Amino acid sequence: MDIAVAGAGIAGLTAAALLARSGHRVVIYDQLPAPAPVGSGLIVQPVGQAILRAMGLFDALRARAAPLRRLNALNTRGQTVLNIHYEALGEGTYGLGVHRAVLFEILLNAAEVSGANFERGREIAGVERTPDGRPCLKFSDGETSPNFDLLVDALGVRSALISRGDAFLKFGALWTNIPMPNDKDFPPDELTQRYRRADCSAGVMPIGEAQAAFFWTIRQDGYDDWRRNGIDAWKRDVLRLWPNAGECLEQVSDPDQMIFARYAHHTHRAPVDGRVVHIGDAWHAASPQLGQGANMALLDAYALAVAIEESGDAADDADGALSAFTMMRTRHVKLYQAISWAFTPVYQSDARLLPALRDWLTGPLSEAPPVRKLLAAIVAGKLGGPLKAMGL
């Protein structure tokens, strides 16, 4: 088939690499002059690791990432707010903390080696279709692409190929990369956080190569004030929450070192519209509380490639392939969208009662074996059996 992939992010590059490997003619359209990652650290969960293993890319990632055995968060009184042990799912289970640029580089190379072509500097404004349903892309300069047998929308939450209201959440986060702290409060195999209620938190996540990601919760409407107040005022706020974070803050001297990340929660009404398929955040976006964004993108892309391959790879079978893709992914997507919707107010909101209940219950509950295993399964991305649905 002739396949267009809109967007050179994690979902788009993964889909392009897999589909080009299978012999399809793939063109990736991206608005940047050269593909580049956006963001700081992320966690490749066990389900994402399984996809990378199937693609032959896991070892390259593992060599540059930090194995995370635990997610550990306390409040200002030392009470447990989050306590997740990956090994509750079995010895040798872990997340991989990694700089987004590392995963991006590995996937970009895979797409290029597989034979995918790139059309750079193309801002996508919409889609048109021929009478027989073959889509083409409309660009902001008025030009259009050729027609394709299939269009993969991997443009993310701001995709011009879907319609939605304001899906952005009230809270975002500031991110920066720092040398991994030496303090014993920052274990090299843990994501460590501190919380005050749900509206103030900071965290340190090892991301490999002796680096860590430092992040700070911030309301979207408070970002301009944060910049005006200056970096020293912010550091005082951080130290009030987390007195031992001084070594981390020594590495930050300019607001421009911090990346402001906005988050959204939405699920597009249907992942498939004729010969257009939406994957990753274009289909389903969620807050970062469960650490699933990159992993859901990897799962979507792999499921799409499997569905197309099992359908016979022919353009005439594309409709059946897209139906199979929807069946593979819908259950898992709906489940994790619901869990994310429920968890977000507990960990990132202006709420007062929910964080108080969280602080009271989380410590005792997280040590109960069934809850311990359930929480690990949720964070690992395994709830709902997404790998089994695609033969992994």
DSSP per-residue letters across 88-99: GG-TT--EEEEE
Q: Is the per-residue pLDDT at 316 higher than 80?
A: no
Q: How many domains does the chain have?
A: 1
Least confident of 115-124, 204-213, 315-324: 315-324
Count of H-run helices and E-run strands, the chain: 12, 20
Domain holding 327, by residue range, is 2-166+264-389
Q: Quick: pLDDT tens for 109-167.
A: 999 999 999 999 999 999 999 988 899 999 999 999 999 999 999 999 999 999 877 78
> Which DSSP state fits 168?
B
Per-residue tokens: 9: 């992010």
Report the run of H or E that residue 15 belongs to, with start and end.
helix 10-21
Q: Is the model's pLDDT at 69 over the cut of 90?
A: yes
268: its two tokens: 């597009």
**Reported confidence tier of residue 303, pLDDT bands at 50, 70, 90:** very high
Is 102 inside a domain boundary?
A: yes
**In a domain? residue 161:** yes
Pair of tokens at residue 72 = 């550990």
pLDDT band for 107, please (50, 70, 90 cuts): very high
Among candidate residues 293, 340, 211, the one with its CA nearest the CA of residue 9? 293
Residue 41: is its pLDDT beyond 80? yes
Residue 224 lies in a domain: no
User: Is 193 a domain residue?
Assistant: no
* CA dist., res. 377 & res. 190, Å (int): 17
Could you give the percent of the chain with pLDDT greater than 90? Answer: 87
Q: Which amino acid is at 291?
A: G
Bridge-partner residues for 43, per DSSP?
Answer: 97
* Structural tokens at position 11: 């979902």
Instruction: For residue 115, give the CATH number of its domain.
Output: 3.50.50.60
**Residue 314: its pLDDT value, please?**
64
Kindly state whether residue 90 falls inside one of the protein's structural domains.
yes
Using the structure block, give the residue that is written with the tokens 């919760």.
Answer: 217
Radius of gyration from C-alpha coordinates of the chain: 21
Residue 60 confidence (pLDDT) above 80: yes
Residues in the chain: 392
β-pairing verdict for 150-153 and 276-278: parallel
- pLDDT score, position 165: 74
Categorize the per-residue pLDDT at 194 as very low, low, confident or very high, splitting at 50, 70 and 90: very high
- pLDDT class of 315 with cuts at 50, 70, 90: low
Q: What does the pLDDT average to over 312-326?
A: 82
pLDDT of residue 301: 98
CA dist., res. 379 & res. 215, Å (int): 19
What average pLDDT score do residues 8-37 get? 93
Residue type at position 277: V
- The amino acid occupying position 225 is D
| 198 pLDDT more than 80 | yes
Q: What pLDDT band is residue 200 in, cutting at 50, 70 and 90?
A: very high
Q: Residue 221 domain-assigned?
A: no
- Residue 174 in domain: no
Identity of the residue numbered 112: E
Q: What is the pLDDT of residue 313?
A: 58
The dihedrals phi and psi of 28, each to the nearest 5 degrees, come to: -100, 125
* Whole-angstrom distance, CA of residue 192 vs CA of residue 194: 7
Q: Which residues of 67-90 are buried (b: 16+ CB within 10 A; e: fewer)?
A: bbbbbbbbbbeeebbbbbbbebbe
Mean pLDDT of 71-93: 94
pLDDT score at 215: 96
Q: Is residue 227 part of a domain?
A: no
> Span 350-368, mean pLDDT?
90
Antiparallel, parallel or unpaired: β 95-99 and 41-44: antiparallel
Task: Please determine, for residue 185, whether its predicted confidence score (pLDDT) is greater than 80.
Answer: yes
How confident is the prediction for the chain on average, in pLDDT?
94
Could you report the per-residue pLDDT of 268-287, keeping only the tens digit for each? 989 999 999 999 999 999 98
